[in-house]
Structure 1
C-alpha cells in the first residue's frame, strides 16, 4: 500500500516554514501544489523542445507537436473520452464554460428556453449562463438543496422539463463538498432533449472520472487543481455536438484556408484552439496525469475519504464551530467549509496562517450559495492526497488556539 507521507517528498513547496511554523497547505480547492515531476516536465520542454506546434517541419517543432498531442491522448484516456477529437485544450474550467455559452448556447438557446443550474455553483458556472439568458431572452432556473446540502433531486425532476435547453451542474461543490448525481441529471436532461454540462473542476483531481459513464455532453476542468500548471484546462464534448459548434476565437492554428472574404476551419479538435496554445502547460498537464495515474485515482480518493473521516468528527467536536454540507464523512469530499461563532472567517484564516495553516476565507466564488445559506462568508480547508492526519491535527490545534485567542478578547 502506498505511503502517502512519502508522496509529500515530491512537493518541495511543502517543506517550508510560514510565520515560523511548518506549512500545512489546506487550500487545494483553490489550487494544488506541483510535484517535481511536473516542474521537471516544464523545464525540460523549455530547455530542449521549445518550438511552435503543428506548423514546423524541423526537429524541435516535430518533438513539441508530438508531446503536445501526446498530452491530449493522456487526457482522453484519463477521462475516458472516445477519441482525442473530443478533447479541447483551454485556459481552464472558466474558459470552457464560457466557450459553451458563447458557441453552443448562442446557436441553440432560443427565447423562452430555460437554463438549469443550482444554488451551489461557482461563479464560472453562473455568469456565462446569466449572460446567455440575457442575450437570448431565456430564463435561468436554480435547483434548491436539501438541509444537508445535497441537490434536491425531486425538485430537479420538476425544474428540468420540456422548456429546458441546458443543464449545467458542478460534479463536486467547491464549498459544501457534495458529489452531485451527474448521471441521473444527464438522464433527466436527455429525456427532455437538453444537453448536460458538467463543471468538473473539483472532481477530476480527486476521483476517477468517466465521461462516457456519466453520459454528459460537455465536461470542463482545470489543470492547476490536479498538480498541473496554471493556464491550462480541458473542455470535453461529444463529437456530434462539437462538430456543429462554431469556434469562439479566430486566428492562427485553427484555420484551414483563409480567403479575402471568408475562411474555413480545421477539423476537431484544432478548430477551437486559436493562436499559439499553452504548449508547455499541456505537456506538463500530461506529466501531472502520469503522476496521478502512478498513484492511482482510486487510491487518492480513498486516502482523502480517510482524512475526512478522521478530521470531520474533530471539527464537529469543537464547540461553537459549524461545518457546512453533509455531516456524515462518507458523503463529504475533502472540501470542508466552516465558521467559528463570533469570529469572521477572514480573521479565523489570518489566525490560522499565523500557525502555519493555509486555508481559504471568503465567499469562494459562490455568492449565491452564501446568500442561500444566509452567510457572509466561510473559512474552507480543502485536502489533497499529499495531506496527512498530522496536517489535520495541526488544523484542529490551530482552530482551538484561534478560538481561545478571540474568546480572550485579544482584538
Structure 2
C-alpha cells in the first residue's frame, strides 16, 4: 500500500480566512485545555489513583464540553479530536525519549487543523485551479498544481508565511517506478552534500545561497526595528517568508535527489549518523565554557543547511531497501586496499593512499567504503578520478 502527500496553496476569501482562524483557535484551545488537564491529573490524582488520562478519556469529555459551549460546538468535532490525538502522540514520543514534554500552543505559531479524509471532497475546476469542500466551511479554491491519486485519508489546513495551504494525505496511490535491484553507497558531507559510489555528486542549488544571503540581511534589519512597531512586524514577515522559501528549495532539491537515486538503485547504503548529536551546541556553561564555539556553530549551520536527516527520511520511504553502516574511518580507509591512515586524506577534496598509491576524490572514496561496508554484491571499478555531476531543481 503506497502513501503520498499533496500540498496546495489555498485561495480563501475574507470570510473563509476568518473561519480558518476560528477553527485554528478552537483546536489550539482544546490542545491547551487537554494539556492542562493531564498536568493537573498527574500532579494531584495519579499518585493516589494510579490511573492515566489518554485520548479515549479526553475525547469523551470533549463531547460533554461541546454540549456546554457554543463556540466550540460551532467548529468541526473531527478537528478537535485530531488535536487530542496529536497531544496523545506527543506524550507517547516524550515517554519514549523521542521528543520533549508537550508545551502549550501560542496564537500565530503553527496555526492549523486537520479533517478526516471521509469529510473532504476535491474537484478540479480547470487546468490551473481546483476546489475542496471542508465541513462547516464550504468550498475553497486552490491552485491545483498536480492531480491527486489514491484515496484521501486526511487533510490538514495550515498557515504559512505565504498564506494558507492544504496538505492532503492519500493511500493506495499509484506505485512509483523505482528500482528494486542494484546498490549504491552514499556519503553525506558539507562541501559536497551527497556523493555516490558511482561518482555522481549532488550539489545544493546556487539560488539557495542567494535566498540565505537575503534572509541574513533581513534578519539584521529586523534586529534594528523596535519591538511592537509596524515596521518590526513587516520585517519579521520578510524574514519568515525568506526562510520559508529557502526551506522549500531545500526540500524540493532533496526530493529530486532522492528520487533520482532510488530510480537507479534499489538499495541505498548510508552511514549511521546521529545528526542531533552532531549539531549540538559547543557553548558549554558559565562554569565550563566550550572551545571553538564559532567554528562549531558554522559547522552545525552547514550540516542543517544540507538536511542530512531529511534526506535519510526520504530514502527510507522511497528506496526498496536502506542499509545503515558504521561511519568510523570511512574517510580515512582506502577503498582499494583497505588500509586506514589519516595521512591519506591530503585535504578536503583529495585522497591518496599511503600504502598502495590509489588516488580519488575523498568523498567518492568514502562512498565506496560505505558501499563495501554494507556487504552488497556489487563490484565497483577502480576509478582514478571521480566524475562530478550536479542536479538542480527545475
In the superposition, the TM-score normalised over structure 2's length comes to 0.20
